[in-house]
Amino acid sequence: MRAAGRISQRALRLAGAAVEPGVSTAELDNIVRKYIEEQGATPSFLGYGGFPASACISVNNVVIHGIPSENTILKQGDIVSIDVGAYYEGFHGDNAWTFPCGDISDEAKALLEATKNSLFEGIKAAKSGNTIGDIGNAVQRYVELRSYSVVRDFTGHGVGAKLHEAPNVPNYGTPGRGPKLMPGMVIAIEPMINIGTYKVKVLRDRWTTVTADGKLSAHFEHTVAVTPEGPVILTDAD
């Protein structure tokens, strides 16, 4: 799983490095697919449930599951969430990051920083003996203290031989509630955080999910193993 995670992370970083005004989201998707396949792996998302691309690329008010397109051209000030999975030797690695396109607003910078930090707050709570509720509460508490909202309709999840496994890992919750974390569990922790309402809607393509009020959203994700020594990030290329 660490190998799958590294491939997924490196593909994500390559796509993120290419985020700049004038680039299409389809070009970013091609970068992801090319790198993953060159490593002898398979893009986890390609064909998953009928999804037509190798990465989900979501711009500005698109929360998740944005479909890459030659017609979606990035512009200065956009924030671009890229979600990448790689399947290698029987296991998946899943991660996401939100990248700035050129200079972005202070509002957008603050959202990205808070969402990224909330991910690491969630990871710190992914300790053996804790619960799924401890993770969700850590994320929720961090962002709500900063007046952001947590998407309720989509959650993190277990990862393994399948891309999505039990348990669900909400980004909200009550400490001490939910499934208990045990060594050997691997989960994707992925805060999806909005500037405005937590409510979202899915567009007619049945994939693209946007904020209900049209305000910005950010998405950060790592695949994390629960070990006796503490949480270990598997989607880490370093």
Rounded Cα distance between 109 and 77, Å, is 10
The CA-to-CA distance between both ends of the chain, in Å, stands at 15
Given a cut of 80, whether residue 237 has pLDDT beyond it is no
Of the pLDDT bands very low, low, confident and very high (cuts 50, 70, 90), residue 24 is very high
Given a cut of 80, whether residue 238 has pLDDT beyond it is no
Q: What average pLDDT does the segment 18-31 reach?
A: 98
Give this prediction's pTM: 0.98
Q: What average pLDDT does the segment 190-217 reach?
A: 98
Given a cut of 90, whether residue 84 has pLDDT beyond it is yes
The 10s digit of each residue's pLDDT in 27-51 is 999 999 999 999 999 999 999 999 9
The whole-chain average pLDDT of the chain stands at: 98
Q: For 133, left (φ over 0), alpha (ψ -120 to 50), or beta?
A: alpha
Give the domains, in start order, of the chain with CATH numbers.
2-233 (3.90.230.10)
Q: What average pLDDT does the segment 202-216 reach?
A: 98
- Contact assessment for residue 55 and residue 14, using Cβ atoms and an 8 Å cutoff: no
Tokens of 188: 């994707």
